[in-house]
């Protein structure tokens, strides 16, 4: 089958279209003809050699898929050949065929394209787990979502808004900030031209926020903690600026702050299934009705995966970048 292969780590140009063997499903997996997949920051890290796939997973990039089932394992329940499904995988989405555990699959809503379905799983699962399961965001609270134009950011804005929270964001341009407002953000801060901590104090009358969802890491740590309210929660989802920074433990003690981390890829299938079930129970009907929706920036053909990575690393996108694998 055709797939994106890389012979060594490096820049996006190492991603080439090639041929690899088709995967064989385990008893709890289904084999899928992949129609679309999506880019995630984890893909760019894996390409560069910093985020290898879990043991036993494909070396091919790709953490989510949408497609048509062609084969089912003998322990699979509720999924059949020819079903249109989408869902979460450990790796292998940048290929014409991939396997997915049936417990991580969801039916594609009627009328949806494969590209729409491919834009959901990783970002909405992450947004739900970080804001609600880990962060315990509730009605009336205020959340700051960094990288509001990212896939997880655009998903989190919608979920928080649906939960009647006040949503503040950071983004790298005024155009992105205006788009976040159409998704439910109350106000946005251009991190390239303003100090977000100072702006948050102004926007909240020095009250701060209940939750910060952060993808940046080291460079933002002290400011994230300073703008949290009493009993505030910092949810660390990414480390784009690095993993090491000094921390004021006194502030954490005085204000009873929490720092919570989240990564999904290395969790066992059983825990990923619980994540999937929590999302489906609370939000799937909202997806079907259009109250929340995947935000797609650009669709690239599979063979242009390298160009898609360059586009992501230039921070040009608002929402998800999709790879169309086949018609």
Give the CATH number, domain containing residue 282. Answer: 3.90.180.10
Domain identity same for 183 and 65: no
Domain identity same for 132 and 251: yes
Q: What is the pLDDT of residue 327?
A: 73
Last residue of a domain, one of 240, 261, 282: 261
Domain identity same for 162 and 235: yes
Task: List Cα–Cα distances, 163 to 86, 128, 156, 221, 304, in angstroms.
Answer: 25, 11, 10, 26, 38
List the pLDDT tens digit at each of the 327 positions of the chain. Answer: 999 999 999 999 999 999 999 999 999 999 999 999 999 999 999 999 999 999 889 999 999 999 999 999 999 999 999 999 999 999 999 999 999 999 999 999 999 999 999 999 999 999 999 999 999 999 999 999 999 999 999 999 999 999 999 999 999 999 999 999 999 999 999 999 999 999 999 999 999 999 999 999 999 999 999 999 999 999 999 999 999 999 999 999 999 999 999 999 989 999 999 999 999 999 999 999 999 999 999 999 999 999 999 999 999 999 999 999 987
Q: Are 264 and 238 in contact (CB under 8 A)?
A: no
Domain identity same for 218 and 297: no
Domain identity same for 250 and 131: yes
State the Cα–Cα distance between residues 186 and 286, nearest whole angstrom.
21
Last residue of a domain, one of 261, 296, 312: 261
State the Cα–Cα distance between residues 103 and 249, nearest whole angstrom.
41
Domain identity same for 130 and 101: no
Domain that includes residue 51, residue range: 2-120+267-324
Last residue of a domain, one of 261, 284, 308: 261
- Which residues on adjacent β-strands are paired with residue 188? 169
Domain identity same for 191 and 300: no
Structurally, the chain folds into a number of domains equal to 2
Q: What is the pLDDT of residue 326?
A: 86
Domain identity same for 10 and 76: yes
Does this model's pTM top 0.85? My answer is yes
State the Cα–Cα distance between residues 212 and 144, nearest whole angstrom.
5
Domain identity same for 83 and 135: no
How far apart are the two ends of the chain, measured CA to CA in Å? 15
Domain identity same for 132 and 255: yes
Domain identity same for 108 and 129: no
State the Cα–Cα distance between residues 185 and 169, nearest whole angstrom.
7
SS3 labels along the chain: CEEEECCCCCCHHHCEEEECCCCCCCCCEEEEEEEEEECCHHHHHHHCCCCCCCCCCCCCCCCEEEEEEEEECCCCCCCCCCCEEEEECCCCCCECEEEEEHHHEEECCCCCCHHHHHCCHHHHHHHHHHHHHHCCCCCCCEEEECCCCCHHHHHHHHHHHHCCCEEEEEECCHHHHHHHHHHCCCEEEECCCCCHHHHHHHHCCCCCEEEEEECCCHHHHHHHHHCEEEEEEEEECCCCCCCCCCCCHHHHHHHCCEEEECCCCCCCHHHHHHHHHHHHHHHHHHHHHCCCCCCEEEEEEHHHHHHHHHHHHCCCCCCEEEEECCC
Domain identity same for 37 and 136: no
Instruction: Supply the CATH number for residue 212's domain.
Output: 3.40.50.720
């Amino acid at each position: 089958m055709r797939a994106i292969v890389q012979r060594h780590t490096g820049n996006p140009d190492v991603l080439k279209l090639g041929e690899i063997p088709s995967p064989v499903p385990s008893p709890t997996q289904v084999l899928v003809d992949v129609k679309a997949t999506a880019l995630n920051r984890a893909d760019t890290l894996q390409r560069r050699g910093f985020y290898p796939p879990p043991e036993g997973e494909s070396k091919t990039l790709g953490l989510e898929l949408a497609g048509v089932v062609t084969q089912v394992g003998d322990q699979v329940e509720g999924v059949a050949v020819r079903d249109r499904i989408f869902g979460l995988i450990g790796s292998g989405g940048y290929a014409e065929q991939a396997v997915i555990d049936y417990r991580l699959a969801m039916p594609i809503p009627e009328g949806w394209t494969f590209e729409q379905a491919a834009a959901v799983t990783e970002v909405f699962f992450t947004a739900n787990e970080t804001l609600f399961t880990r962060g315990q965001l509730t009605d009336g609270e205020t959340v700051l979502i960094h990288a509001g134009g990212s896939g997880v950011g655009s998903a989190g804005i919608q979920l928080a808004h649906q939960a009647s929270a006040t949503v503040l964001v950071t983004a790298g341009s005024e155009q992105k900030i205006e788009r976040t407002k159409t998704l439910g953000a109350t106000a946005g801060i251009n991190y390239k031209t303003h100090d977000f901590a100072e702006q948050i104090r102004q926007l909240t009358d020095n009250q701060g926020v209940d939750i910060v969802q952060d993808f940046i890491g080291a460079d933002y740590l002290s400011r994230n903690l300073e703008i949290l309210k009493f009993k505030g929660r910092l949810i660390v989802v990414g480390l784009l600026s690095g993993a090491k920074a000094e921390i004021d433990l006194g502030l954490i003690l005085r204000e009873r702050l929490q720092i919570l981390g989240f990564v999904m890829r290395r969790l066992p299938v059983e825990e990923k299934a619980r994540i999937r079930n929590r999302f489906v129970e609370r939000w799937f009907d909202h997806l079907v009705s259009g109250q929340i929706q995947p935000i797609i920036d650009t669709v690239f053909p599979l063979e242009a995966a390298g160009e898609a990575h360059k586009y992501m690393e230039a921070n040009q996108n608002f929402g998800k970048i999709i790879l169309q694998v086949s018609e």
